[in-house]
């Protein structure tokens, strides 16, 4: 069983430079970047690709999560293929309320990303929901709870990119 860390924040780039990965970790990370099988024993197959047993693969993945090298292991779903709607959204939170507002936003299960940026607006998030009514309702709740306007930036043109790190 893999336990997700409560804090999904990755270490800083400087901290990552200090973390040594062995060949098994590198092979495992490469195996995790593509084609995770939809089987009851996915980690067994991933382990085989990396030259590890299923248990070794799970233990190493847990260690990589605990160290913050991995933030999450999971599928990337194409919402439009499921007839879901999504938007990039932004809100300008007062510095003293950033943590509370981020926690409020994170409470919505349709929020897939939420991050702090410099400038205005300063909190950016993506929300994906089964329909526009649910998404608008949730965003209206955020606006009401914070007293702040949420800027909605729905997708106008979709670009699909694949990112694989040279590990």
Residue 160 covered by a domain: no
For residues 101 and 61, state if they share a domain.
no
pLDDT in tens, 121-152: 999 999 999 999 999 999 999 999 999 999 99
Quick one: three-class SS letters along 46-103? HHHHHCCCHHHHHHHHHHHHHCCCCCCCCCCCCHHHHCCEEEEEEECCCHHHHHHHHH
Domain holding 18, by residue range, is 13-66
For residues 94 and 139, state if they share a domain.
yes
pLDDT in tens, 70-91: 877 877 777 887 889 999 999 9
pTM for this predicted structure: 0.64
Q: Is 109 exposed, middle or buried (0-12, 13-18, 19+ CB in 10 A)?
A: exposed
Task: Give the mean model confidence (pLDDT) for residues 2-10.
Answer: 46
pLDDT in tens, 8-63: 444 444 444 445 788 999 999 989 887 788 889 999 999 999 999 999 999 999 99
Residue 161 covered by a domain: no
Domain with residue 92: its CATH number is 3.30.70.920
């Amino acid at each position: 069983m893999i336990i997700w860390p409560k804090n999904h924040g990755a270490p800083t780039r400087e901290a990552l430079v200090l973390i040594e990965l062995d060949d098994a970790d590198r092979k495992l990370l490469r195996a995790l970047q593509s084609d995770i099988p939809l089987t009851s024993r996915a980690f067994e197959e991933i382990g085989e690709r990396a030259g590890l047993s299923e248990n070794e693969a799970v233990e190493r993945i847990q260690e990589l999560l605990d160290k913050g090298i991995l933030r999450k292991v999971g599928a990337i779903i194409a919402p439009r293929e499921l007839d879901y709607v999504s938007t990039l959204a932004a809100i300008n939170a007062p510095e003293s309320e950033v943590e509370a507002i981020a926690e409020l936003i994170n409470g919505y299960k349709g929020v897939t990303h939420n991050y702090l940026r410099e400038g205005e607006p300063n909190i950016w998030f993506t929300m994906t929901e089964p329909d526009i009514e649910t998404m608008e309702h949730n965003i209206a709740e955020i606006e009401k709870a914070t007293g702040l306007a949420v800027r909605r930036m729905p997708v106008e043109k979709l670009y699909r990119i694949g990112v694989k790190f040279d590990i």
